[in-house]
Structure 1
Amino acid sequence: MSEENKRLAPEALEKGLADVHLDEVRSLLSLQKRVEELVEPLLRDQDSLALDEASAEIQQQYRRELRQKLRLMPPKEVAYILEALEANERLVVWEEVKEGADPILAILSDDILEELIDDSHYRNEKTVVTAFELHAGHLRQITITRPEDLQGVHPIWVDLIAPTKKIRGWIGRRFEVDLPDPGSLTDLEASARFYVDEEGHIHLHSDFLLDTREESRNVPVALILQNDILFTIRTEELPVFRLQRARARTRPGYVTDGKDVLLDLYAADVEYSANALEDVYAELERVGRQVLRSHVTDQEATEILAAISEAEDINGRTRRNVLDTRRALSFLLRGRFLSDAQLADGREILRDIESLDGHTAFLFNKINFLMDATDSAININQNKDIKRLTILSVIFMPINVLAGMGGMSEFTMVTEGIPWPIAYSALLVGMVGIGSCMYFGLKYFEKRRLKSNRAANRRTA
């Protein structure tokens, strides 16, 4: 067999196996459909509950067999089967594999992907599109699921959470704006994150803080201003956006256009960052009381170090978050995109950020102090352990010498004529006596040293 045939043989074998499994899946789907076709007219004529239950049981049996077969296939093979099936058959198979289907979705083509998740629970869990328009001074929230929902809507804010390529496409065509993929917002250069495109649309890529009990991280968000309409695109829900929606819905006149919404999002982000710093203050205060006690065990020191590391991580992320917000606001102020009232709001937010800088710097210093104090407590515990081992080695040194003598032939010669139980009992008593003398002697000299140190301290005082 040639080298090329050897290389292609595994791929051909894989495809052959996938085709066999595809035929099996099609056979099961065909049988299931055949049962439905046979039972449906009987149900219309007889309206029998027993017949309906029997049909449902047969359907469940085919579903179980299909589910079991699909579970044993690798994701690549399942993706191949999904792409090869007809649309209605594809949806039946998708219902059986959609739990934990991320590896399969990563392989599927965009068209098949859109078709599968467009109306499924998978999309509903992650993808949310919401438009907000002004109504009597309040923001009215409108959930968008299809292009027809945008007819007659004049929003000032369109919020997209994990939008698919298809959704970004029809929203972009409706408003004549290019919406980026939220999963690729990783640019670090300011020129790539804050710019005005050829159509005059303002693009900002900012990080917003997500601080929960489980984790703390920065989530990138794309913000686009186009004709006083703000578009926000991100991968997940964020507390700052929930807060902004609640305020805008309940306070009349709170916002009037997309720029107001943008500035209020940044203001809410700074406020959220300040709350995160307050939590860090509270955590470090608790840790500080624990560190500055008279004694800290190694287990407690481990927990303290973990808490300090977590506080340092949150503080660092918060500092980066407000720095990113400052860069975005500076870009808006320099570009003269805002009205006089909005300029005043932007400068007020920048002053709030400057006040947070002092807090983050103070927290870094406090974290370093607590880290050093915890390291010192660990070193003290280690010194105590070394001291105990040293004392034990001094105590047992003469005992080891006597034990070594007891094991020599000379000891037998010295104790010749003395019964060995008496000789070795005397040796053991001598070892215990010498060890006790060494222990109490060391303890006595240690007390004398401490007393002399106290007396010297009193004299110097």
Structure 2
Amino acid sequence: MPIRIVANPPLERPTEASALVRGMDARVIWIDLLNPTPEERRQVERLFGIDLPTLEDMKEIETTSRLYAEDGARFMTAPILSQVESSLPQKTEISFILVGQALITIRETNLKSFGAVMAQCDRRGAASRDQVLLSLLDAIIDRQADLLERVAKEIDTISQNIFQREIPNRPSENVLRDTLCELGRNGDLIAREQESLVALSRLVQYAGQTDFDAHERDPGVALYPRLKPVARDLHSLTEFAGFLSNKVNFLLDATLGLIQIEQSSIVKIFTVAAVIFLPPTLVASVYGMNFAH
């Protein structure tokens, strides 16, 4: 994929790795690498004097592998859910690198949040790397919030179906099985979303720290107060995700309770049938015995 560059004031965006070095100067504030080739990675590494994390490095789950400072740059990686409109959102990792006055992003998935921020920069421009970082975080969080809102609506629908007072027919085994599957799918989505929100919260906290190595090229002291609203949004979404998780567990218990009631009803029918047919069965058993006289 072509390397996309945002600068202030704007400059012509190079489309090849070999043109990157020729087109770079102090105006560049954002370099977006989408599935970069080895040559593109080497060009950026030589330009900034840093080692970019590989896609395998970005998938590491240790905090020290996701959040660290090295060679005067700050590296931050977080997993998020992409394709939130689909029934099966996928997890993908994004790396944010603050080096000097520039922001470098590395990703392997085409995300709508990045496309929206890039289009906004094309229309209005961007003042600094911090503004771009904040815009990206806001766009990502908005997409994660949309996913939680959709899951909440689905859970409300399931809850109404389970607890409706007037039921024309008893829920069949297939209906209850489908309900369990829907609750399980939404519970899995919420768990993965909680993982993403926790990682983003740690990323925001790390990005706002000012006690880094003195050799860091740009400590970004002014970034901390601007990240507070982002941290509050993440905190509220984390609490909401926890509420949804508890609700899913409650509905799972309720559905299993309905299944047990249905099973008890079936056992009751067989018990009554056994009592009704006990006398004829007893008589037939007596007369069916092989008596000598």
Q: TM-score range by the shorter chain?
A: 0.7 to 0.9
1:326 maps onto 2:201 in alignment: yes
Structure 2 match to 1:208: 80
| CA–CA distance in structure 1, aligned partners of residues 94 and 6 of structure 2 | 21
| Distance change >3 Å, CA 135–CA 222, structure 1 → 2 | closer
Counterpart of 1:338 (choices 182, 205, 220) is 220
1:239 Cα deviation (Å)?
A: 2.8
Structure 1 match to 2:215: none
- Greater RCO (Cα-Cα under 8 Å, separation 6 or more): 2
Q: How does 1:25-424 map onto structure 2 within 5 Å?
A: 128-134=1-7, 142=13, 144-148=15-19, 150-154=21-25, 155-197=28-70, 199-210=71-82, 211-250=84-123, 252-253=124-125, 255-293=126-164, 294=167, 295-335=170-210, 337-340=219-222, 342-405=223-286, 407-408=288-289
| Distance change >3 Å, CA 262–CA 365, structure 1 → 2 | same
Structure 1 stretches of at least 4 aligned residues deviating more than 3 Å after TM superposition: 139-143, 402-411
The SS at the match of 2:91 is: strand
1:377 Cα deviation (Å)?
A: 0.7
| CA–CA distance in structure 2, aligned partners of residues 231 and 339 of structure 1 | 18
Gaps of at least 5 residues in structure 2 are 212-218
**Contact 1:209/1:269, CA 8 A, preserved across alignment:** no
**Contact 1:161/1:233, CA 8 A, preserved across alignment:** yes
Normalized per residue, which structure has more helix? 1
What letter corresponds to residue 325 of structure 1 in structure 2?
Answer: L
What letter corresponds to residue 258 of structure 1 in structure 2?
Answer: R
| Distance change >3 Å, CA 405–CA 200, structure 1 → 2 | same
| CA–CA distance in structure 2, aligned partners of residues 135 and 232 of structure 1 | 17
TM-score by length of 2: 0.84
**Contact 2:8/2:127, CA 8 A, preserved across alignment:** no
TM-score by length of 1: 0.56
| CA–CA distance in structure 1, aligned partners of residues 104 and 245 of structure 2 | 36
Gaps of at least 5 residues in structure 1 are 1-127, 414-461
Give the greater-gyration-radius structure (CA). 1
The SS at the match of 1:172 is: helix
What letter corresponds to residue 45 of structure 2 in structure 1?
Answer: G
Q: Aligned residues, how many?
A: 279
Structure 2 match to 1:435: none
1:284 Cα deviation (Å)?
A: 0.4
**Contact 1:201/1:224, CA 8 A, preserved across alignment:** yes
Q: CA RMSD in A?
A: 2.5
1:140 Cα deviation (Å)?
A: 7.0
1:212 Cα deviation (Å)?
A: 4.3
1:344 Cα deviation (Å)?
A: 3.0
The SS at the match of 1:313 is: helix
| Distance change >3 Å, CA 343–CA 149, structure 1 → 2 | closer
